[in-house]
Amino acid sequence: MPAKPKPKPKTKSAPKPAERGELMTGAEVLVKCMEREGVDLIFAYPGGASMPIHQALTRSKQIRTVLPRHEQGGSFAAEGYARVTGKAGVCMGTSGPGATNMITAIADAYLDSTPLVAISGQVPQHMIGRGAFQETDFFGMTLPVVKHNYLVTNPHDIPRIVREAFYIAQTGRPGPVVIDMPKDVQEAKIQPLFVDEINLRGYTPDRELDEVALNEVIGLLKQSKRPVIYAGGGIISAEASKELTEFAERAQIPVTTTIMGVGAFPESHPLSLRWLGMHGTVYANNAANEADLLLALGVRFDDRVTGKVEKFAEHGTIVHIDIDNSEINKNKHVRLPILANVKQALARLNQLLEIAGYKRHSRTAKPTLHTEWHAQITKWKHDHPMKFWDTEDQIQPQYAIDQLYQLNKDLIITTGVGQHQMWAGQWYRFEEPRRFITSAGLGSMGYGLPAALGAKIAFPDKEVVDIDGDGSVLMNIQELATAVAERIPIKVLILNNQHLGMVVQWEDLKYNSNRAHTFLADPKDTYDPTHKNEDIIYPDYPTMCAGFKVKCERIIHKKDLVPALKRMLAAKEPYVLDVMVPYTEHVLPMIPGGMTYKDIITEPIGVKAAAKAGVPTAL
């Protein structure tokens, strides 16, 4: 065993002296503190309880304030910004309904480990608990879905609270932090004391590497004949993609990711299995479940990945490296849990591989390790490729996304939630992290359009396309007004099947195709699969977009798709492309909820076949 490296001597630096500010209001102190944290963007919708903060924001030369048209849209936009940059997104609403409108995005950020600071105005302190106009207990409401939250009761605490909030949101396992600020605190005049030092007892986001455990990983690798890396969003949060790629190439281990981990490992790499789980590739699911060693890196063993969790990777040795102790052995008991920053752990594992004689293997060279295992995976890839059943004139949704990919392979993609979300992950290939921005854990419809706004502001030189569904996009369609007013040239590709497609898919599998409120068009009309009668297509997105002064065109025929995609990508302003697709298409492959990889569905099946396959009652 190699000698443990000597730790660097710890030198305690002198704390930075506190900086005394000039006399200002609590609201001005908040803005000044955000500037000191490097905040350059906030999505904020004003109201009576947050007006003082908005007044202070008008005087900031650093922070751009974007006015969304709904607080949920603004907070999803802040998430989009956070997901593409790794910095905390910032959003704000007033008290009561303004605050509660942000809760879905806060919960979304919590489940997807997205750094977010959500600020809410609150009624004056003497009115709290009295049922005042627009009063809600936002602190109490958000307790289950935040990493931490604050109710500010003393204006002198603002510098400390803001410093802590951004530190907590962005360190360790990232997540949302709420600052609830009563109006009297915002209006109070104080001379603030700005302190950079943080002292949070009990919060230790930095982890010491367990050298013995990491050496045990190397030992397990040497014994393994069928290793697989199962990588999640933790790789992206830790900025560990380079370390992961080096580790995979040194050990010659195939890599599969979760939806949140898409892009953490280049999907064109020969070692890539793309993503696994309910709608993942057959070969990724096979490999993860038949591996004798599963290296789970920055993952949480979500049910959409594992299916029947007790059967997931049941015959393999599992190593789980994660920074969050609460995830260790929570969903799946593992042989070797390692509590660590996954970037630091992989960097050290690469050093140990080098010492053990594992040289970095070229991605173009044939594997020299685990050759039988690689041959088996190659066969699975050959036998079970990603596919769809094309038609002569109808536009299949998979075809539309594939053509978008062929036209521009360097897009930032956001999505809503539904079938289009899965197809986007399947048919657009990602080579880099922070390019696939989607609501994975909470599955929030309406996420894609506002998230695209945040992503585009963060990277104005990148093309950002929201691949959305006609049901999902409608939930925050008002943010087109934000795109126009703020000159944010996002693109929206609507895969319009006039239905809630994912629910329809389950209706086909379980309920004899009985439509239970999943038809989104005018109920008095009959669905026209050819879309020849455009008068019954509802909502009429081209007309709706015209009201927002957004260019929109509807495409029905296959021959018109690629030219329209080119026009969309070339546009220098917000642009919506409404592509009519058949509602009968299913997302495949599919592992029905609560089942195993052996129950995977790869061909279109009817109700009887679904019953025979044992599709369970629960999704």
Which residues are known to be catalytic? 71, 133-134, 183, 502
Parallel/antiparallel/unpaired status of strands 464-469 and 336-339: unpaired
In 41-137, where does DSSP find H-type helix?
51-57, 71-85, 97-100, 103-111
d(CA 519, CA 516): 8
In 112-188, where does DSSP find H-type helix?
138-142, 158-170, 183-187
Q: What angle do the packed helices 419-427 and 501-510 form, to 10 degrees?
A: 100
DSSP letter, residue 134: T
List the beta bridge partners of residue 198. Answer: none
Report residue 81 as tokens.
């910004």
Report residue 605 as tokens.
């099946």
d(CA 44, CA 283): 45
**Residue carrying the six token digits 């630096």:** 13
Contact 445, 273 (CB under 8 A): no
d(CA 188, CA 185): 5
d(CA 464, CA 414): 7
Contacts 24+ apart (CB under 8 A), 423-428: 423/397, 423/398, 423/467, 423/495, 423/587, 424/467, 425/259, 425/262, 425/275, 425/279, 426/279, 426/386, 426/398, 426/401, 426/587, 427/386, 427/398, 427/401, 427/402, 428/401, 428/402, 428/404, 428/467
Q: Residue 94, SS3? A: coil
Q: Residue 580, SS3? A: strand
Whether the ω angle into residue 539 lies within 30 degrees of 0, i.e. cis, is yes
Half-sphere exposure of 279 (CA within 13 A, CB side): 19
| Inter-CA distances, 190 with 22, 25, 148, 179, Å | 8, 6, 25, 19
